[in-house]
Amino acid sequence: MLLIKPIDALKHQLDTLSDSARRGFVHLSIPYHVGNVMGWLNAQSVYPRLYWQSRDEGAVEYAALGVVKAFDSLAALQADFTALADSGGEQPDYFGGMAFDPDAPGWQHFPGCYFLLPRIVLRRHQGGATLSLNLRFDDRCPEAEIAQARACLAALEEEQPLPCLLPHVYQREDRPTLREWTASVAQVTHPDQLGHTPKVVLSRETCLTTPETPSPWSLLARWQTGAADCFHFGVQLTSHEAFIGCPPERLYKREGRHLMTEALAGTTRRGQDAQQDQTLADKLLADKKNNLENQCVYQQLLTQLEPLSSQVQMGEAHIVKLRSVQHIRRLIHAELHIGITDQQLLAVLPPTPAVGGVPRDSSLAFIRQHERHRRGWYAGVFGRISHASSDLAVTIRCAHISPEAIRLYAGAGIVAGSQPEEEWRELDTKIADIMSLLGMG
């Protein structure tokens, strides 16, 4: 019996694609066996390499490679969406993200906005996996498109075990320092400032240097196992840099016209035992400063959703327990008006006051003027967008990894009643998970 390798089956589908099938967006798929999706991704030499898993229980795992088409603006993404939707055929999944402040100077190799339609997608769900090849025929030469797709398939490598995470000794440098942080918190909480800007989320970059940084995919794979209720993402636009994270916060999820979003803000640590944990949670839910942080977020979301949707409903405040922290969360549901697009939502909703502040303009002005580190894609957006449904996370609890350093980012909502040392400790609890994985816990 002749054994056909799965990839050959995909090549065969490509080779036998009829002329009449060469239209619009084409998606060829085969069942595929994969042990570890990140192990597969890490073995590939095609870039960009991207990983995405939503936080919902049993969520699909996606690994994506290469580019059929990339978009550096929401308008360009919208135009592609509309072109494909009008053609009426199958609709693709787009993946990508945005910086916190796309108009401010960001990270060198990370554009302010970058979404892509990947060439290859490995999708695993409930034990079964499929490998897909994406093609576009509506705006390019069919022969060239097929040749590029073939080259990408030919470059695919077998899955490999992820490299072990070796212990390293890291040098740590915080920007701002505690002294600088204390001065900034004092500025934000000055009555004159609070009078016009009740909340600013200040952030910190923790730079860890070591002669050899670990594999981002090994790190993300370990991080993910302790962050079950979080989103999991990683992206490498080039081979020497990665941005990974396990954020607990959803920007929004859209299913058809149904929108789910949330106010996640207000933080305390986990207790040493169940009783202390509960006491901390009760205190958090009753705490004025933490409730103000959360209120700033939901009020802005409700105001922004008003003109875009109807039946806006908000649930009760409740506690979300993560490995090292607990947060206050309020879930929000709404029905979008007909014709409201993801691009409109992405133009309006981020940055939410969970990462920016209120009012948006003056809080962003404060951040631009006072923060010396570049947030880049920290506190931005990352996720999946498609015609039928979209799901996007706010990129907090994340790390930027380059050959020189690992940069960890954390922010804290500063409002009336914020104390600099307490907020500084909050930053440390927010990076505690990844710090312990790095042996710095």
Ligand X SMILES: C=C(O[C@H]1C=CC=C(C(=O)O)[C@@H]1O)C(=O)O
Known catalytic residues are 199, 249
CB-count burial class (<10 Å; 0-12, 13-18, 19+) for 2 = exposed
R_g (Cα) of the chain, nearest Å: 22
The single-letter code of the amino acid at 77 is: L
- Judged by CB under 6 A, the residue of 266, 351, 357, 420 near ligand X is 266
Residues 6+ apart with CB under 8 A from 142: 22
Which phi and psi (to 5°) does residue 109 adopt? -100, 15
| Using rule CB under 5 A, residue 413 touches Mg ion | yes
Q: Does 262 bind ligand X (CB under 6 A)?
A: no
**Could you say which of Mg ion, ligand X, none residue 398 binds, taking C-beta under 5 to 8 angstroms by partner kind?**
none
Per CB under 6 A, the list member of 296, 396, 406, 435 interacting with ligand X is: 396
Task: Answer yes or no: are the C-beta atoms of 134 and 26 closer than 8 Å.
Answer: yes
Least distance to ligand X, CB of residue 378, Å: 7
Give the CA-trace dihedral at 323, 326, 327, 330, to 10 degrees.
Answer: 90
Site membership for ligand X, residue 264 (CB under 6 A): yes
Secondary structure of residue 181 in the 3-state scheme: helix
Indicate which of ligand X, Mg ion, none lies near residue 374 (CB less than 5 to 8 Å, by partner kind): none
DSSP state of 258: E
The string of DSSP letters for 26-52 reads EEEEEE---S-HHHHHHH---S-EEEE
- For helices 420-430 and 178-188, the axis angle rounded to 10 degrees is 120
422 is an annotated ligand-binding site residue: no
**Residue 212 in marked binding region:** no
Residues 252-291: x where in contact with Mg ion by CB under 5 A, - otherwise, as a string: ---------------x------------------------
Picked from ligand X, Mg ion, none, the partner binding residue 98 (CB below 5 to 8 A depending on kind) is none
Q: How far apart are CA 17 and CA 316, in angstroms?
A: 53
Binding residues for ligand X, rule CB under 6 A, total: 17
Q: Pick from 266, 244, 264: which is nearest to 314 by CA? A: 264
Q: Considering only residues 77, 412, 415, 434, which one is a binding residue for ligand X as defined by CB under 6 A?
A: 412
Binding of ligand X at residue 413 (CB under 6 A)? yes
Distance CA(35)–CA(41), nearest Å, equals 11
Please give the C-alpha separations between residue 69 and each of 27, 95, 114, 152, 210, in angstroms, as whole numbers. Answer: 14, 11, 11, 14, 36
Position of tokens 């308008």? 75
Residue 157: Cβ within 10 Å count: 11
Which x/- pattern over 337-376 shows residues binding ligand X (rule: CB under 6 A)?
A: -----------------xx---------------------
Report the C-alpha gap between 206 and 56 in whole angstroms.
29
Q: Which stretch binds ligand X (CB under 6 A): 45-53, 59-67, 89-97, 408-416?
A: 408-416
Please tell me whether residue 329 binds ligand X under the rule CB under 6 A: no
Nearest CA to 381 among 342, 344, 350, 411? 350
Minimal distance, residue 260 CB to ligand X, in Å: 17
Tell which one of 132, 267, 326, 390 touches ligand X (CB under 6 A). 267
Question: Is position 265 an interface residue for ligand X (rule: CB under 6 A)?
Answer: yes
How many angstroms separate the CA atoms of 91 and 89, rounded? Answer: 6
Q: By rule CB under 5 A, what string of x and - marks binding of each residue 84-123 to Mg ion?
A: ----------------------------------------
Stretch that binds ligand X, among 90-98, 110-118, 258-266, 273-281 (CB under 6 A): 258-266
234 makes contact with ligand X (CB under 6 A)? no
# residues contacting Mg ion (CB under 5 A): 3
Our finding on whether 393 is near ligand X (CB under 6 A) is no
Out of ligand X, Mg ion, none, which partner does residue 93 contact, by CB within 5 to 8 A per kind? none
| Member of 97, 112, 356, 411 binding ligand X (CB under 6 A) | 411
Regarding 412 and contact with Mg ion (CB under 5 A), the answer is yes
Q: Which residue has the tokens 């409201």?
A: 340
The DSSP symbol for 268 reads E
Instruction: Kindly tell me which residue out of 253, 327, 375, 384 binds ligand X, with binding defined by CB under 6 A.
Output: 327
**Position 432 contacts ligand X (CB under 6 A):** no
Q: Of Mg ion, ligand X, none, which one sits near residue 249, judging by CB under 5 to 8 A according to partner kind? A: ligand X
Mutual orientation of helices 142-154 and 6-15 as an angle, nearest 10°?
170
Q: By the criterion CB under 6 A, which residues form the site for ligand X?
A: 201, 249, 264-267, 293, 327, 354-355, 396-397, 410-413, 430
Contact residues for Mg ion (CB under 5 A)?
Answer: 267, 412-413
**Binding residue ranges for Mg(2+):** 293, 426
Residues annotated in a binding site:
293, 426
